[in-house]
């Protein structure tokens, strides 16, 4: 039984994204594969500079920060973090200073790194080893420096993936509920790239709450299945503990966390030639732009699972396009080689 969105006492939210986003079939690709019909939830169209899945979470996260009296945002991620770029532009739009703590040493200012700087964020880059070993202390040191300057900083975790951020894709499931009614089909599976786990957590809990009637599969772009089992469970638990009072009928206590970790490749942000070839093919065939870090890797995994026959019993699969198009630019040389080959 599905539940109507107006039965929920929603958390504070700032309208940042262009919603609802379209749900579109990929007819030519589906016909070519001869498998289930593939649909794409176009969350790459949530905005331009605020594009992708991150802005759905930031609508709730930034509202929560402002409600608590914070006046500066600090967040973290890789050099090409979609979340960091989106946070920088949210801050610019709202007139809130933003500090970005980034993993890696840039060879040049490109893609999301360039955009974050253009938005006026204060960018702090750290060597990968130092970032991985000392992230929490780096974030706290950055926050303390901001306090000394008279600010009240709010630290947003990687990808805005925590109990508050779960609201973003929990709310998106209400939108998907309406999408499926409009298009008159029942999905057999919802697939999303998963990196920090927050999008997967929101979809997993939301699909149960709104009665979407299918599993959510996270296609891992980093870390393994056991990591995402713990991380998604942790985010859902934090959400449930803080916001259970918003739901008169209670939240589901039974849900299935499913992750496929077979397509991580050599690690986060490292795209194989096969992933890049998939990006080129889908752009040519469907006019859909995937990215090398998240959606390209996840979509490559989805196509492989279909070709292996693992999803042949399904009729409709929904791929949540989490954005990230600016991430293709640092891969321009390799993509050019594939295009010309």
Count other Cβ atoms within 10 Å, centred on residue 307: 13
Listing DSSP states for 223-242 in one string gives: S-HHHHHHHHHHHHHHHHHH
Answer yes or no: are the C-beta atoms of 54 and 294 closer than 8 Å: no
**The dihedral sign for the CA sequence 30, 41, 255, 269:** positive
Which is the catalytic residue, given 30, 51, 81, 207? 81
Which residues make Cβ contacts (< 8 Å) with residue 43, sequence separation at least 6?
21, 52, 53, 56, 172, 320, 321, 322, 323
Active site residue 81: yes
Tokens of 27: 């007819």
**Contact predicate 160/83, CB 8 Å:** yes
Rounded Cα–Cα distance for residues 271 and 34 (Å):
26
Q: Distance (Å, rounded) from C-alpha 176 to C-alpha 41?
A: 8
∠ CA 188-284-55, rounded to 5°: 60
Would you please indicate which residues are annotated as catalytic (active-site) residues?
Answer: 81
């Amino acid at each position: 039984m599905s539940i109507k969105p107006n039965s929920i006492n929603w958390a504070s939210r700032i309208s940042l994204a262009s919603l609802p986003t379209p749900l579109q079939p990929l007819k030519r690709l589906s016909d070519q594969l001869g498998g289930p019909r593939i649909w794409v939830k176009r969350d790459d169209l949530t905005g331009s500079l605020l594009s992708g899945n991150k802005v759905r979470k930031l609508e709730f996260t930034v509202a929560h920060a402002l409600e608590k009296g914070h006046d500066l945002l600090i967040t973290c991620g890789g050099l090409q973090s979609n979340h960091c770029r989106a946070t920088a532009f949210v801050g610019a739009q709202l007139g809130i200073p933003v500090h970005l703590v980034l993993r890696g040493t840039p060879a040049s200012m490109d893609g999301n790194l360039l955009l974050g700087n253009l938005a006026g964020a204060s960018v702090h880059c750290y060597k990968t080893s130092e970032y991985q070993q000392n992230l929490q202390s780096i974030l706290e040191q950055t926050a303390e420096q901001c306090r000394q300057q008279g600010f009240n900083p709010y630290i947003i975790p990687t990808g805005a993936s925590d109990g508050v951020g779960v609201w973003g894709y929990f709310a998106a499931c209400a939108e998907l509920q309406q999408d499926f009614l409009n298009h008159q089909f029942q999905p057999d599976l919802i697939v999303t790239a998963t990196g920090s786990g927050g999008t997967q957590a929101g979809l997993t809990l939301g699909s149960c709450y709104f009665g979407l009637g299918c599993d959510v599969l996270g296609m891992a772009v980093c870390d393994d299945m056991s990591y995402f089992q713990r991380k998604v469970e942790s985010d859902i638990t934090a959400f449930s503990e803080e916001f259970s009072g918003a739901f008169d009928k209670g939240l589901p206590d039974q849900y299935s966390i499913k992750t496929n970790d077979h397509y991580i490749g050599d690690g986060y942000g490292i795209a194989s030639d096969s992933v890049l070839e998939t990006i080129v093919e889908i752009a040519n065939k469907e006019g859909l732009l995937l990215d090398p870090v998240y959606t390209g890797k996840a979509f490559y995994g989805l196509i492989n699972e279909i070709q292996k026959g693992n999803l042949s019993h399904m009729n409709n699969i929904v791929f949540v396009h989490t954005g990230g198009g600016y991430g293709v630019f640092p891969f321009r040389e390799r993509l050019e080689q594939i295009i010309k080959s």
